[in-house]
Amino acid sequence: MAEVLSTFVLQPGDPAPAFQLPDTEGRVRSLDDTKGPNGLLVVFACNHCPYVIHLADALGDFAREIATQGVNTVAIMPNDFAKYPEDAPELMEPFASAHAWDFPYLLDETQQVAKSYAAACTPDFFLFDRDLKLAYAGQFDDSRPRGSLQPHGGDLGEAVRRMLAGEAPLPRPYPSSGCNIKWKEGNEPAWFSKP
């Protein structure tokens, strides 16, 4: 398991790339119908990555908390599930339910949405404001699967607080850490280098 740090291709103030992707029940969901009145958290995630599993319960709690502040959450699964069957579409809903994810979990089978966000790893976090402009791209917190620190969402929580308060974003946020996105053969983005 290689730890991959995300790139910062989307810059603060950049618009959220649009998407139309199916959820675990086959309904197509879009950027506009998943956003909340005060913003949207886009999380690239999967079922099998130890980094996602490590914070999956905390992410469910975090999403419920920010929903009360008008910020919705959506998760997007971009991995090549033919090579990683634990990430297969039929296993996404059970994973989401096991971790009390009350938000949509969408399948990016073509991987084009992950490319448009320049997502590099699972998990990768992108926070957008009420106008769907990027407010934060970075880690959930400083906990890691093999560490003693429990997930707490401190970095992302502070980013949400600043965004809602109209304050300046976090300076030089620490990038997300996780497992590299499992690109389909020949589908790797130009900026991706194999670990």
Residue 116 has pLDDT above 50, yes or no: yes
In a domain, 99, yes or no: yes
Distance between CA atoms of residues 98 and 169, nearest Å = 33
- pLDDT category, 6, cuts 50, 70, 90? very low
- pLDDT (tens digit, 9 = 90+) per residue, 87-108? 999 999 999 999 999 999 999 9
Residue 97, C-beta contacts closer than 8 angstroms, at least 6 positions apart = none
User: Element (H or E) spanning 96, and its range?
Assistant: helix 89-98
**What is the residue whose two structure tokens read 């093999």?**
146
CATH code, domain with 126 = 3.40.30.10
Of residues 127, 177, 195, 118, the one with CA closest to residue 156: 127
User: What pLDDT score does 7 carry?
Assistant: 46
Question: What's the average model confidence in pLDDT over 105-130?
Answer: 96
Distance between CA atoms of residues 133 and 39, nearest Å = 9
Residue 15 DSSP label: B
- pLDDT category, 193, cuts 50, 70, 90? low
Report percent pLDDT > 70 for the chain.
93
- pLDDT (tens digit, 9 = 90+) per residue, 43-86? 999 999 999 999 999 999 999 999 999 999 999 999 999 999 99
- pLDDT (tens digit, 9 = 90+) per residue, 32-42? 999 999 999 99
In a domain, 64, yes or no: yes
In a domain, 5, yes or no: no
Q: How many domains does the chain have?
A: 1
In a domain, 23, yes or no: yes
**Domain limits at 48?**
14-180
pTM (two decimals)? 0.93
In a domain, 9, yes or no: no
Residue 56, C-beta contacts closer than 8 angstroms, at least 6 positions apart = 45, 95, 98, 99, 101
User: What pLDDT score does 9 carry?
Assistant: 76
Residue 194 has pLDDT above 70, yes or no: no
User: What pLDDT score does 170 carry?
Assistant: 87
Q: Pairing mode, if any, of strands 121-122 and 177-180?
A: antiparallel
